[in-house]
Amino acid sequence: MPCMMPAPYLNPEDTTAADAIAAIGEELGMFDDWLDRYQFIIELGRKLPAYPAGWQTEEYRVKGCQSQVWLAAKADGDTLYFAGASDAAIVSGLVALVLRVYSGRTRPEIMATSAQFLKDLGLIGALSTNRGNGVAAMVERIHAIAAA
């Protein structure tokens, strides 16, 4: 059983990545339009654990994002925990969604969970091209960490 990581690392609230994706889909489905979904996503970002200012460095910055995004990882055996933040409200929410899927998962589960869920949930289509590319860059960075 993985240990629970202290903040700023996000502990999983769902048993598996697939469960997290299904729960996110249900939550987004409660809203009739994208304006309400965006507000929901922004609220998720506000609930992220505080990300240390000292980690807002080039070392942790995710390249390919329109906004500033930082991502840190910590391993507990084969399980990886992630912490993240952004300087933009909507992007912080997208960070929260991505971390909900990937943080607290084993390396094999992370590698087996593609970014396809972002398209399946309609997120990529509802975002600007730059934001969509940025979310994909976050997932690529998480996969690279898991593969290392």
> Rounded CA gap, 51 and 84, in Å?
6
Q: Peptide bond preceding 8: is omega within 30 degrees of 0, i.e. cis?
A: yes
Active-site entry in 5, 21, 48, 65: 65
> Catalytic site residue 3?
no
The 8-class DSSP code of residue 52 comes to P
> Rounded CA gap, 57 and 52, in Å?
10
Strand order in the sheet with 69-76: 69-76, 79-86, 105-106
H-only helix segments in 17-88: 17-29, 34-46
Query: Which residue numbers are catalytic?
Result: 65
